Amino acid sequence: MLIKQAPDIRSSEITDERLYRNRRQFIQAASGAAMGAVAGATVLGQYGGALQAQEPIPNLQKSPFSTDEALNSYEDITTYNNFYEFGMDKGDPARYADEMTIAPWSVRVEGEMNKPAADVDIDDILRPHTLEERIYRLRCVEAWSMVVPWVGFPLGDLIKRFEPTSKANFVKFTTLYRPEEMRGQRSRTMEWPYVEGLRMDEALNPLAIIAVGVYGKTLLNQQGPPLRLVVPWKYGFKSIKSIAKIEFVEEQPRNSWNVSIPNEYGFYSNVNPEVDHPRWSQARHRPIGAFFRVPTLMFNGYADQVASLYDGMDLVRNY
C-alpha cells in the first residue's frame, strides 16, 4: 500500500482544479416523472434537466451538525482523495476517475427486509429526500484531516424505506465493479469490489449520511458519485464510494481493508487517538493547509452524538 505522509504535502503540490472540470454527465433527469415537491427543500430529481458534474445544487438547508471551522478549499477537496478503485496515490482519483460512467445508475437493495429486493433507480432513491449541507471533519489514517461541506441526506432515512427486519443487524455496502473503467480494480492490491459495513444502530445515527454533493455542487467522479457514504466519527476509509449495492445482513460483514490487512484495520474504524495504528501514532494529525499538527479528538469530536453507541465496548480490541 502506498502511503504518502501528510506533512510532505503542500497546497502547491495539489493539481489545479481547472484540469478536472470537464466531467461526464452526473445523473439524468427522470423521464416524464413528476417530482414530489418537499416544502422548503431541494431534491436532486426536482432540479430539472440533466445534472452535470460540478453543477450547483440550489436551495440547500444548513444542517445543525455543521461545524464553524474554516473549510478546506475546493481545490484541496477535489484533488486529494482516497478512491482505491483508481489507484492508491491521493492524486490518482482526480487523474483517472473520468473514465467511470455514472449514468444511468441504480442500486441493488436486498437482504433481511420486508420490502422485496429490487434494483432501485437513482431518481427513486433521491426523490423523497431533502438535501442539506453538513460540514464534517474527516480524518484518515495518514494523520491528515479536512473540513468538507458535504451535501446529502441521512442514511437512516433511506434504510427505513426498505423496512429492515429484526434480523438486520448490519448494513453492507458494495461499490461498483467495473475494471474496464476503474483501473485500480485491475490490480491485486485488494479484493474487489470494495465492501464496507456499519452496525445498524450506527447506520441509523443522523450523523451518517449518503452524500450526493460537496461545496454546494454535485460530486465529481473522484469523489464517488452518485452516492457515497460519509460517517464523520470514523476514519475516511470507511466512506465507501459509488455505492452499487446495499444489503441488510445478520452477520457482521468483512470490510475490504480488514480482509486485506486484518492486523491494521478492523471493522469499526472509529477515530480513537488512544489507539495507535501499528505503524504510526494517531494521537495528533495535520489539517490539510496547516503546518502544525493538532490533537486528534475522540470520535473525531462527535463523542456527544455517538459515544453511547459503544457503551461497554472495548474500543482497543474493537478498533
Which of 1-5, 184-188, 225-229, 311-315 has the lowest average pLDDT? 1-5
Question: What pLDDT score was predicted for residue 137?
Answer: 83
pLDDT at 171 over 70: yes
pLDDT tens, 52-90? Answer: 457 888 888 999 999 989 999 999 999 999 999 999 999
Which of 22-31, 51-60, 175-184, 249-258 has the lowest average pLDDT? 22-31
Domain limits of the chain?
Answer: 7-310
b/e map of 134-150 (b: 16 or more CB within 10 Å)?
bbbbbbbbbbbbbbbbb
pLDDT at 31 over 90: no
Per DSSP, 112 falls in state S
Question: What pLDDT score was predicted for residue 142?
Answer: 55
Question: What pLDDT score was predicted for residue 143?
Answer: 67
CATH 3.30.1490.110: does it fit domain 7-310?
no
CA 18, 20, 25, 26 torsion-angle sign: negative
What is the grid cell recorded at 30? 427522470
26: helix, strand or coil? strand
Higher pLDDT, 110 or 31: 110
Question: What pLDDT score was predicted for residue 182?
Answer: 98
